[in-house]
């Protein structure tokens, strides 16, 4: 089907009217021009408002979401790069410690001496003696040590290949005052000597002592790998160092490190990872700029830089406070009277934060451009229509009066036919924007308006399908969440909480708790009386997480309890574990397993018989001091049939047993460091002795949570406390 444009239709009708009506068309033209101009003005306003309201807000939100997503991705990339640098420094520290603690495995080695060589070239491992060391003299023992650590060059040389192309130094500074170093220079600098000038070389030889450097002092004070603050290096550049202490048999022996200039670390770790327009920078935990794409102003990197949290620009100061707090967000800030969007995301390895600034005008520029083009096109269209009508008017004055009335009527019909489809499209657009996706705009004009109406109808169909699919997904998620909540309640009900039922047994005091990491967990505890004189306690941890672990937990709890009740001898704990293991191994196609600690107390004499199935070692508190129970190594239950052994101790009045799962010992803080069994022991010994067992467990749980800080709980936490009070 041949489609005719609106412009050609109007031109054709007006020319036909000139031929038929001659001069009478002029009068008709005046009427039609007024009506057409009014309709065009109304529809132009409708289109402009629609663009400003819908496209503007959508584009702004989309751009902010995209900027936040890109910033978070780049922060992860930068975090990974810094983690690799930290790993390299830790490897260097381990290498130095190995050299110092195993002197019989290495031969002495001599390195180039910064004071003896005429020049030191890039990529050359050399040794530098501080003036203080030379004045006090080098003892035979220290000379032997220096010959030994000369082998450190075999570590520096291959590692330096990873840092080629930037101004980088890899080194080890001894507590005695000597430095083993390998300096790298970019090939594009056109020089090989590590000394930019004779004056800087003389200053280096006269004053450089590694023990006086910022990176040395910060690593020694921290006692672990650290990223230093920005400082002025030996060449006068702003430098940043990742440093770590190393040790010999007597303790602290010095510091190893990898140094970048601020400019190079930005190029290597940030600029190469950025593909956006705007500025990027990194803040440390003190609110200072570590490195930045800006060369001047508040965001430029500088020695002893300004704390941005104290900046005059209130918006930027608030952003800096949120960045140093480890938050992720996009917010509007104003710098030097100019508006920006600032996206930021934390770097977990160092505690720093990456920020990306984009000009607000740059975000909204496409919307303004489209809006301007639409307005221009509408204005051009109006001018064209007016030009045609003026031409027709000049020729229509010759038409006869009888035809004027006919053309006035025809012009009215013409204006209506031109503007009616536009109005229908505008009305349809309003209904669609209000959420009525069943609205259909039916036009049979045979031109671009009909094509536009078809596009509107297709858009509403697709939006309706998307909305329906979204509703289905939301309903499915709600159903899964409800099922998990029911499963969590069922699992909680399976764990005994009848502590008050034992008030008639003054021989003991008992309390337990379980904090799952997910909606349902794999840990469980159990306790019950047998024959009126035996108290059985069980703490176990099923492999895995979530619903599979919860199902296997229910099976394991039932099997262990049934095997205990079937046992002829309540104190035959090894036999109970062997019988339970045999049942759990049967039909265990999923290869699930469970660690178990199970024990029974004879309440008449305090004898505690226990057996272990690959579980964490419990602690026994006696006279206010906790120690780990003797525990023979054994295999978990559910993987293979094998024998188990049991052990026995005599409990004294007021002895307290603390049994737990690895969710306690392996709880991690924000630096991914484990709580460890040693901290469990120290934590228990740090609590007040003699307090109720329930208070003891709650306080121990508080100790674990305080250590974890804001880190997400990674495993189920289960504790059981039992105090034997005697007959």
Q: Which of 78, 549, 124, 162 is nearest to 349 (CA)?
A: 78
Architecture of domain 495-724: 4-Layer Sandwich (3.60)
Query: pTM (2 decimals)?
Result: 0.44
CB-count burial class (<10 Å; 0-12, 13-18, 19+) for 549: buried
Domains 83-266 and 495-724 equal at CATH topology level: no
C-alpha 73: how far from chain center? 9
CA 234, 162, 166, 68 dihedral sign is negative
Class of domain 83-266: alpha beta
- Beta strand extents in 189-308 (DSSP E only): 226-227, 231-232, 238-248, 251-261, 279-283, 289-292
d(CA 431, CA 425) in angstroms, rounded, equals 10
Domain boundaries, the chain: 83-266, 274-362, 435-484, 495-724
Among residues 98, 103, 77, the alpha carbon closest in space to that of 172 is found at 98
Q: Rounded distance, CA 333 to CA 319, Å?
A: 8
Element (H, E) at 646: strand 646-650
Residue 342, H or E segment: strand 338-347
Nearest Cα residue to 6 out of 289, 375, 305, 419 = 419
Q: Could you tell me which of 531, 685, 500 has the C-alpha nearest to residue 602?
A: 531
Query: pLDDT (tens digit, 9 = 90+) per residue, 404-433?
Result: 677 666 666 665 666 677 777 777 777 777
Chunked in runs of 10, what are the mean pLDDT values of the chain (727 residues)? 56 62 61 70 69 66 81 84 90 94 91 91 93 93 93 92 86 96 83 86 91 93 89 75 94 94 67 58 83 77 75 78 89 82 86 85 68 71 72 67 68 65 73 73 74 78 76 65 56 75 87 83 89 93 82 90 92 94 89 94 95 95 93 90 94 95 92 93 91 94 93 90 91
What is the Cβ-side half-sphere exposure of residue 259, based on CA atoms within 13 angstroms? 29
SS3 letters across 506-522 = CCEEEEEEEECCCCCCC
pLDDT at 275: 47
Helix (H) or strand (E) holding 46: helix 25-50
Q: What is the pLDDT of residue 273?
A: 44
Predicted local confidence at residue 338, as pLDDT: 82
Distance CA 282, CA 259 (A): 17
The count of other CB atoms within 10 Å of the CB of residue 46 is 17
Q: Which CATH class is domain 274-362?
A: alpha beta
Helix axes of 676-685 and 693-708: crossing angle, nearest 10 degrees: 130
Residue 542 is given by DSSP the state E
Position 188 scores a pLDDT of 74
């Amino acid at each position: 089907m041949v489609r005719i444009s609106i412009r050609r239709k109007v031109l054709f009708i007006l020319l036909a009217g000139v031929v038929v009506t001659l001069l009478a068309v002029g009068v008709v033209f005046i009427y039609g021009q007024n009506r057409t101009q009014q309709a065009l003005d109304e529809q132009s306003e409708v289109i402009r408002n629609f663009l400003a309201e819908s496209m503007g807000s959508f584009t702004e939100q989309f751009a902010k979401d995209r900027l936040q997503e890109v910033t978070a991705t780049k922060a992860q990339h930068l975090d990974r790069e810094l983690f690799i640098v930290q790993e390299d420094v830790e490897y260097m520290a381990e290498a130095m410690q190995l050299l110092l603690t195993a002197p019989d495995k290495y031969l002495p080695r001599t390195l180039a001496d910064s004071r003896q060589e005429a020049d030191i070239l890039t990529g050359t491992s050399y040794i530098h003696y501080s003036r203080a060391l030379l004045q006090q003299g080098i003892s035979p023992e220290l000379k032997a040590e220096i010959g030994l650590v000369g082998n450190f060059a075999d570590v520096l040389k291959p590692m330096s290949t990873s840092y080629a192309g930037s101004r980088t130094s890899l080194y080890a500074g001894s507590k005695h005052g000597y430095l083993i170093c390998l300096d790298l220079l970019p090939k594009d600098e056109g020089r090989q000597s590590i000394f930019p000038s004779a004056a800087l070389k003389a200053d280096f030889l006269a004053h450089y002592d590694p023990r006086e450097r910022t990176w040395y002092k910060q690593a020694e004070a921290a006692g672990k790998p650290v990223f230093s603050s920005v400082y002025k290096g030996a060449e006068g550049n702003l430098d940043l160092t990742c440093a770590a202490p190393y040790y010999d048999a007597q303790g602290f022996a010095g510091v190893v490190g990898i140094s970048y200039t601020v400019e190079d670390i930005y190029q290597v770790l940030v600029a190469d990872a950025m593909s956006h327009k705007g500025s990027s920078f990194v803040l440390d935990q003190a609110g200072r700029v570590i490195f930045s794409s800006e060369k001047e102003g508040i965001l430029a990197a500088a020695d002893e830089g300004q704390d941005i949290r104290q900046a005059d620009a209130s918006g930027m100061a608030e952003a800096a406070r949120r960045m140093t707090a480890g938050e992720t967000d996009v917010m509007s800030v104003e710098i030097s009277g100019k508006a920006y969007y600032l996206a930021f995301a934390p770097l977990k390895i160092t505690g720093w934060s990456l920020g990306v600034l984009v000009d607000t005008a740059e975000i909204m520029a496409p919307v303004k451009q489209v809006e301007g083009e639409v307005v221009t096109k509408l204005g051009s269209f109006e001018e064209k229509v007016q030009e045609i009508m003026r031409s027709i008017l000049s020729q229509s004055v010759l038409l006869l009066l009888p035809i004027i009335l006919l053309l006035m009527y025809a012009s009215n019909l013409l204006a209506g036919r031109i503007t009616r489809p536009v109005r229908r499209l505008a009305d349809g657009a309003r209904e669609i924007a209000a959420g009525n996706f069943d609205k259909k705009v039916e036009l049979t004009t045979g031109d671009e308006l009909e094509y536009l109406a078809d596009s509107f109808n297709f858009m509403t169909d697709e939006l309706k399908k998307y909305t329906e699919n979204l509703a289905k997904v939301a309903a499915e998620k709600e159903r899964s969440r409800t099922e998990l909540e029911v499963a969590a309640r069922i699992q909680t009900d399976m764990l005994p909480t009848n502590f008050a039922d034992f008030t008639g047994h003054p021989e003991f005091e008992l309390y337990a708790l379980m904090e799952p990491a997910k909606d349902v967990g794999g840990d469980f505890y159990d306790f019950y009386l047998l024959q009126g004189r035996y108290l059985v306690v069980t703490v176990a941890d099923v492999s895995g997480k979530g619903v599979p672990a919860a199902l296997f937990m229910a099976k394991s709890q039932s099997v262990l309890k049934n095997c205990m009740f079937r046992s002829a001898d309540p104190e035959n704990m090894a036999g109970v574990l062997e019988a339970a293991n045999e049942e759990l191994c049967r039909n265990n196609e999923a290869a699930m397993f469970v660690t178990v600690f199970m024990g029974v107390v004879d309440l008449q004499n305090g004898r505690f018989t226990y057996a272990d199935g690959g579980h964490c070692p419990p602690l026994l508190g006696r006279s206010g001091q906790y120690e780990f129970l003797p525990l023979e190594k054994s295999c978990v239950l559910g993987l293979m049939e094998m024998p188990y052994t049991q052990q026995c101790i005599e409990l004294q009045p007021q002895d307290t047993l603390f049994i737990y799962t690895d969710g306690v010992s392996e709880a991690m803080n924000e630096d991914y460091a484990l709580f460890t069994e040693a901290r469990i022991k120290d934590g228990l010994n740090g609590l007040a002795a003699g307090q109720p067992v329930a208070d003891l467990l709650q306080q121990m749980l508080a100790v674990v949570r305080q250590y974890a800080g804001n880190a997400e709980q990674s495993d189920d936490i289960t504790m059981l406390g039992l105090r034997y009070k005697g007959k």
